[in-house]
Amino acid sequence: MKVAVVGATGMVGEVMLQVLEARNFPITQLLLVASERSVGKTLNFKGQPHTVIGLEAAVAAKPDLALFSAGGQTSLDWAPRFAAVGTTVVDNSSAWRMDKNIPLIVPEINAEVLQPTDKIIANPNCSTIQMLVALGPIHKKYGISRLVISTYQSITGTGVKAVQQLENEYKGASGEMAYPYPIHRNALPHCDVFQEGGYTKEELKLVNETHKILGDDTIGITATAVRIPVVGGHSEAVNVQLKTSFEVIDLQKLLHQSAGVVVQDQPETNTYPMPIYAAGKDAVFVGRIRRDFSQDNTFNIWIVSDNLRKGAATNTIQIAEYLHQKGWI
């Protein structure tokens, strides 16, 4: 299949290429696409050099599949143009997620809503993806009534500029700032842009995307998103109130059996998920599963995943794999 990676020179684009190679995705022709300032650069894929091309040239090539990770405005401007020439677009930006006509997909949870006529498909926010891989099976069995979410998010979610800021601060060097404050030895309760009501876009994504993916607007959800000086992945502490009673051991068993989930929950041996272990892996790691004795039918869970892999590149490619298995691309 002819595949275009749009935003190939960015952090997520680079990881997409790694995941495409690792999963041996069926590619007959690979188009590496980026902005005009990157056209002509050379990137390697499977040991072979590929020259970066522009968006106009990529549309003219009519790829079967385009994996987008080039920012929301680029997706709004160009995804419809790719779709118009018959390309199926899987978009990693926030541009299309809440469009009622565009499916928002975590393959382990709601791939069944996809149709062969879907030409633009949205990849959810990284924090939403990892949370729902863990909580989707629990919602299906028990029903979730409320979520209280606290995230501890990697600087890689912001991009190369944030990584450079942290590296500069480690060295005591001055440089361009991705954040309004230092991130080294700090925690910023500020992910994305503040909105009316005092929540950030990141916090509202956890609310709105969860409702859409699970198909249940009745779940009460509140979130606080925090940026921390970690490179390997996002962590989440989630307080989950269920509609029915449960036993902790049954939750653990269910998660052991759930696709894409690795349970690391042995406090007696200090076994629990951490970003340092999740980095470079595709799974969602869960642990610290324990009853909340202050509320009926409620438990706490700790969820960790590499935000550039399952939270972005891997989920995007898993959507494409599902479409290919169905024979739709």
Choice among 50, 139, 191, 234 that is catalytic? 234
Assign 232 a pLDDT band (cuts: 50, 70, 90): confident
Is 90 exceeded by the pLDDT of residue 15?
Answer: yes
Sign of CA dihedral 180, 186, 189, 191: positive
Is 90 exceeded by the pLDDT of residue 73?
Answer: yes
Please report the pLDDT score of residue 297 as a whole number. 98
Show the domain range for 243. Answer: 127-307
The model's pLDDT over 244-303, given as tens digits with 9 standing for 90+, comes to 999 999 999 999 999 999 999 999 999 999 999 999 999 999 999 999 999 999 999 999
Q: Could you tell me if 300 and 203 lie in one domain?
A: yes
Q: Could you tell me if 219 and 272 lie in one domain?
A: yes
Is 90 exceeded by the pLDDT of residue 141?
Answer: yes
Q: Could you tell me if 83 and 184 lie in one domain?
A: no
Helices within the chain (DSSP H only): 11-22, 55-60, 72-84, 107-110, 126-142, 160-171, 201-214, 248-256, 275-278, 314-325
Average pLDDT of the segment spanning 204-221: 98
CATH of the domain at 211: 3.30.360.10
Sign of CA dihedral 19, 235, 260, 129: negative
Q: Could you tell me if 301 and 316 lie in one domain?
A: no
Please report the pLDDT score of residue 110 as a whole number. 98
191 is catalytic: no
Pull the structure tokens for residue 229.
């000086």
Separation in Å, CA 196 to CA 67, 127, 183, 199, 201 = 32, 21, 25, 7, 10
Q: Could you tell me if 22 and 131 lie in one domain?
A: no
Q: Could you tell me if 76 and 160 lie in one domain?
A: no
What is the reported pTM?
A: 0.96
In percent, the amount of the chain with pLDDT more than 70 equals 100
Average pLDDT, rounded, for the chain: 97
Q: Could you tell me if 216 and 294 lie in one domain?
A: yes
Sign of CA dihedral 133, 139, 141, 142: positive
Q: Could you tell me if 167 and 205 lie in one domain?
A: yes
Torsion angles phi and psi, residue 236, rounded to 5:
-140, 135
Backbone region of residue 46 per phi and psi (left: phi > 0; alpha: psi in -120 to 50; beta: other values)? left
**Spatial separation of the C-alpha atoms in residues 61 and 63, rounded to whole Å:** 6
Please report the pLDDT score of residue 1 as a whole number. 94
Q: Could you tell me if 290 and 182 lie in one domain?
A: yes
CATH of the domain at 24: 3.40.50.720
Average pLDDT of the segment spanning 29-54: 95
In percent, the amount of the chain with pLDDT more than 90 equals 99
Domain count, the chain: 2
Separation in Å, CA 188 to CA 62, 179, 180, 182, 192 = 43, 9, 9, 9, 11
**Spatial separation of the C-alpha atoms in residues 50 and 181, rounded to whole Å:** 38
Average pLDDT of the segment spanning 40-61: 96
Residues whose CB is less than 8 angstroms from the CB of residue 137 and which lie 6 or more positions away in sequence, other chains included: 254, 255, 257, 258, 261
Q: Which of 130, 126, 110 is nearest to 285 (CA)?
A: 130
Average pLDDT of the segment spanning 28-48: 95
The model's pLDDT over 124-139, given as tens digits with 9 standing for 90+, comes to 999 999 999 999 999 9
Is 90 exceeded by the pLDDT of residue 177?
Answer: yes
**Spatial separation of the C-alpha atoms in residues 31 and 191, rounded to whole Å:** 32
Q: Could you tell me if 227 and 317 lie in one domain?
A: no
Average pLDDT of the segment spanning 37-49: 94
Is 90 exceeded by the pLDDT of residue 75?
Answer: yes
**Spatial separation of the C-alpha atoms in residues 91 and 316, rounded to whole Å:** 7
Q: Could you tell me if 178 and 275 lie in one domain?
A: yes
Q: Could you tell me if 138 and 263 lie in one domain?
A: yes
Q: By the 8 A CB rule, do 315 and 123 touch?
A: yes
Choice among 126, 139, 191, 324 that is catalytic? 126
